Copies of this chain bind each other. A is one copy, B any other.
Amino acid sequence: MFRFWGRAVIFLYTDFGAEGPYLAQVQAVLVAESPSVSVLNLLSNAPAGNPRPAAYLLAALAGTLPSGALVLGVVDPGVGGERLPIVVQAGGHRFVGPDNGLFSRAAARDPGARAWRIDWRPARLSASFHGRDLFAPVAARLAAGVDVPLTEVPLSQLAGSEWPDELSEVVYADVYGNLLTGLRGDGLSDFAVLEAGGRRLRYARTFSAVPAGVAFWYRNSCGLIEIAVNSGSARERLGLGVGAIVRVVGSSA
């Protein structure tokens, strides 16, 4: 377990929103179960109920976290149904949450990744909020070094294990209207031309390298290809959102 100066830190990656009642209920469980745990909200507006784009964004953001980070990931539209609760170890991090593909992309990027089914169940388990009732207590116990009953499962059995390595789609629109894609920045040359929403987009290193109002693509700070407009919103300008197709159409070299 990674610790900042002796304090365990748990990163929450959810579609709960920042304002509603769900984050605090999870945090209250974490704080109650684990002495001096700290909780950081890595993301609280993951694509709602949509683990596929959320998985590509999480795999990228995990690369910005300190080694040994514990991530509690809850984008869980199948809660109360048949999907399993799992723990995944990949890239030097641990992930706790539902087996719906959310952690599959982080796992796919580490040849040494491992996964476990969670066999523990709480005394009281609601039908609709396993983030609070099941995943949070498990994360708190892992953070505190307490044993949790786990059974290892092959990664190939996990949901999402067949998803492509990169996703040629918008996976997240940020607060500025920038469009993050599921394409990795290190896979394209500066001369690549993208097409999205009927527009062709060229590379720029940063916003201020193009005139105000111009759309471009760049490698963002978590390593993904991102579509942006200097001093504007790519989401509004291109009329695109999560799920929109992004294609590499050529090279300007």
- The answer to whether A205 touches B127 (Cβ under 8 A) is yes
With A25-B64, A49-B231 known as contacts, the answer to whether A20 contacts B80 (CB < 8 A) is no
- The answer to whether B19 touches A43 (Cβ under 8 A) is yes
| A29-37, A106-114, A156-164, A192-200: which lies at the interface | A29-37
- The answer to whether A32 touches B4 (Cβ under 8 A) is yes
Mask of A5-17 contacts with B, CB within 8 angstroms, 1/0:
1010101000111
8 contacting pairs across A/B (C-beta < 8 A): A15-B176, A17-B175, A19-B45, A24-B40, A77-B207, A77-B208, A77-B231, A128-B221
- The answer to whether A21 touches B126 (Cβ under 8 A) is no
- Bound-state CA distance A174–B48 (Å) is 12
Query: How close is A156's CB to chain B, nearest CB, in angstroms?
Result: 24
- The answer to whether B9 touches A31 (Cβ under 8 A) is yes
A31 cross-chain contacts in B, Cβ below 8 A: 4, 7, 9, 38, 40
With A66-B32, A81-B208 known as contacts, the answer to whether A20 contacts B45 (CB < 8 A) is yes
Given contacts A20-B45, A24-B43, A80-B207, 7 further A-B contacts (CB under 8 A): A11-B24, A16-B175, A19-B175, A21-B43, A21-B61, A31-B38, A80-B205
- Bound-state CA distance A27–B7 (Å) is 14
- The answer to whether A222 touches B21 (Cβ under 8 A) is yes
Indicate whether A248 reaches chain B with its CB closer than 8 angstroms: no
